[in-house]
Structure 1
């Protein structure tokens, strides 16, 4: 278990670096939420590292429970709302802003529903087949619709944005969901962490390109007094 914890902490460190590099590329207050995505992924992954260490020890039940709750709060409650809001703040076009506002509303519904489930159902985790299995006895009738709305809130905004490079981030998230669902369906939340590095890299790349474009635009502006 120590090896898997080490991997989780290692991934957390890599995303911390991406977060720092992303924040250094910020040139406007509207970019801060988007640039913080790797840092949130860093905290999320750090939680799973702690969980790897706590799960084998039965006397750490409280730590296990709180860490599971904290980790799932990020994966299920934060992201459906955070991603569309972060992209909305970057948007300049009025029509696209309206569409992104609708997606924020969808994300809010998903976040509220999953927060309700997280607080009212007995959620826990265990180590199974060298992976952390999160047991979430949520209502089955809402699983398919919930998954569709979750994907809509977290993927579609990337393709609505006027920033062309944002499509790369959308494709990263889309493929991570697809691979996780088809090959690791029961372990999606845990396995998805391995896709956080390319996602964090995409965030940094988008901000880097935005900074280069702004610098290029500033270079061709006429000098005025």
Structure 2
């Protein structure tokens, strides 16, 4: 999370608590992957909190590297495939499910691309004001292509899903992505994950709404 170590740790605690409650709210096995998202966001924020501490204090290079790659692997490798896949599991409409399958494949390819970059090129985290800047040596062409497909994999599935209220969750994520892109473009990875982590608490509400409609559909 951007801003400070305290904000990261506090956010991690709050989001993780909501995540535990959300997982307990699951009524169907197909909802489990979606319900785990807040917990993973909480873990991601803890990792960046550790990164803040190690960058400010100096030393502990192994811990700094571990925190850096935990955060980036979650942001760049896990989210692109986990989000569309979680939508696919919950989807019951056949046509929408096929589209979500295609987006899951797209996200999987994007995850492989980012995994290749993280393995092949160095990444250096730096504190720049109130944000953490991840300075990487990824090929610019690959970054440009990936930047286009990232929202396709992580945002589009939320609008394709037929799950009740999911489109509202998609709107919140879209707004956060646009705001981050306009005002915090240099810190996109860190700041967008901050907004998305906060918004992920709405997953509890989405699952609650989804379960509330089950008796009507039976």
Pairwise TM-score range, normalised by the shorter structure: over 0.9
Shift in Å at residue 143 of structure 1?
Answer: 2.1
Q: Pairwise mapping of residues 1-225 of structure 1 onto structure 2 (< 5 A)?
A: 4-217=4-217
Counterpart in the other structure of 1:223: none
Given the two structures, how large is their TM-score scaled by the length of structure 1? Answer: 0.91
Q: Which moved more, 1:206-215 or 1:25-34?
A: 206-215
Contact 1:25 1:211 in 2 (8 A): no
Q: For residues 41-74 of structure 1, what are the alpha-carbon distances to aligned partners after superposition, in whole Å with 9 as ceiling and x for unaligned?
A: 0000000111111112332112111211111000
Shift of 1:217: 5.0
Contact preservation (8 Å) 2:41, 2:197: no
8 Å CA contact 2:88–2:100 kept in 1: the answer is yes
Report the CA distance between 1:147 and its aligned residue. Answer: 1.0
Question: Aligned-pair RMSD on alpha carbons?
Answer: 1.5
1:134–1:187: 8 Å Cα contact kept in structure 2?
Answer: yes
Structure 1: 5+ residue stretches without partners:
219-225
For residues 106 and 55 of structure 1, the distance between their equivalents in structure 2, rounded to whole angstroms, comes to 34
| 4+ runs deviating over 3 angstroms | 215-218
**Bigger mean CA deviation after superposition, 156-165 or 192-201:** 192-201
| Aligned mates of 1:20, 1:167 — CA distance in 2 | 23
- Structure 2: which 5+ residue stretches go unaligned? none
Give the superposition deviation at 1:201: 2.3
**What does residue 221 of structure 1 align with?**
none
Q: Deviations over 1:69-118 (max 9, x none)?
A: 11100000000000000010000011111110000010011000000001
Deviation of residue 18 (structure 1)? 1.4
Tell me if structure 2 keeps the 8 A contact 1:25–1:207: yes
- Count matched residues: 216
Q: 1:197 to 1:125 in 2, by over 3 A?
A: closer
Distance between the aligned counterparts of 2:25 and 2:214, measured in 1? 11
Partner Cα separation in structure 2 for residue 186 and residue 50 of structure 1: 21
When the two structures are superposed, what TM-score results if normalisation uses the length of structure 2? 0.94
What CA distance in whole angstroms lies between the structure 2 residues aligned with 1:42 and 1:198?
Answer: 9
CA contact (8 A) 1:158 1:169 kept: yes
Task: Answer yes or no: is the 8 Å Cα contact 2:15–2:198 preserved in 1.
Answer: no
